[in-house]
Amino acid sequence: MGTVMRRGLAAIQPWHLLSNSLSQGLGLAPWRVLAAAFSLGWREESKQGAMIIVRCVLLLAICAIWYRIWLATDLGAIALPFAVNVKSLISYLLIAQWVVFTVGHRYRDVADVVQSGRVYSLLSRPIPYWQYSLATIIGSVAWMMVVMGATAVVGGLWLTGGMPFLGWQIPLLLLVLPMGVMAWMLMQMMIGMAAAWLGNVTPLFWIAQKMMFVFGGLMLPLFFYPGWWQKLAWLTPFPVVFHLAAAAATGQTVLAWWQILLIQLLWLLILFRLMLWVYAAAEKRLMAL
């Protein structure tokens, strides 16, 4: 028995040494701490029960309404460099709504902690609060991504008789979709931390949500917008969240896959640095109160 235990410890120790070295090199908390936070977010989200069912039904209802709208639209009169039909547009919408319902209102998770004062106990922990907050939210979002992904597939089969994305695009979807989710999640984390200055940040979220609607191509793909509006939208990070992921997965884009990934990666780096700055500034303000 003692021999087995020693062998087990010998096998585990190098992994702990490697994980701790990586954590220190990246300035992160130990992986097991972040994994515990991720697990907490996953478990808490899985307990939502009826609310998850409501979200799934609402996603399908929105797409069903737009399905009727697209059926009544003369899509043949639209000149585009790629094929557009009812099935492709509904598939686009299903994937965009997948992102919407996956992320939800994560800003509340952060804002509630700040407004309730619980943030002070988290700030005193040995790991940075932004790491704990990010790992927990990623856990919650990961659960919803699976549930909403299954709902989107069901919606595609129900409304169009097929999958909401091209089969050969699945590997690309597995890259661009999480990156779009992460971008919207980072934006909401910053909105939540703004509670350190504003208190109630719901109006700020409403503004960001409407900007996402008009610049992100949520309901209508950006290629339906006037040329000048499209140029304005591409100056913002919002197309990274919905439009790029949905257009890439349905083939409704003139961009190459590497261009899509590059645009997303650049905006993710910018948003991540902004998130770090907001969290650092908010922490200084909270500790000074």
Averaged pLDDT in 10-residue chunks for the chain of 289 residues: 43 43 51 84 86 92 92 77 81 91 90 86 77 90 92 90 76 86 94 90 92 86 85 91 85 82 94 94 85
Question: How far apart are the C-alpha atoms of 73 and 60, rounded to whole Å?
Answer: 20
Neighbours of 270 (CB within 10 A): 14
d(Cα 286, Cα 277) in Å, to the nearest integer? 14
Residue 9 confidence (pLDDT): 36
What count of other Cβ atoms lies within 10 Å of the Cβ of residue 141?
22
User: What does the radius of gyration of the chain's CA atoms come to, in whole angstroms?
Assistant: 21
Cα 136–Cα 138–Cα 24 angle in degrees, nearest 5: 75
CA distance 240 to 118: 33
Q: Write down the pLDDT at residue 268.
A: 95
Please state, in angstroms and rounded to a whole number, the distance separating the CA atoms of residues 224 and 230. Answer: 9
Confidence (pLDDT) at 250: 80
Please tell me what DSSP assigns to residue 107.
Answer: H
**Any idea which residue has 């701490």 for tokens?**
33
pLDDT of 249 reads 79
CA distances from 167 to 3, 28, 70, 243 (A): 50, 37, 23, 19
Residues 189 and 282: beta-carbon distance below 8 Å: no
* In the chain, domain spans: 39-288
- What confidence score (pLDDT) does residue 278 get? 94
pLDDT at residue 256 in the model: 83
Question: What is this structure's pTM?
Answer: 0.83
pLDDT for position 67: 92
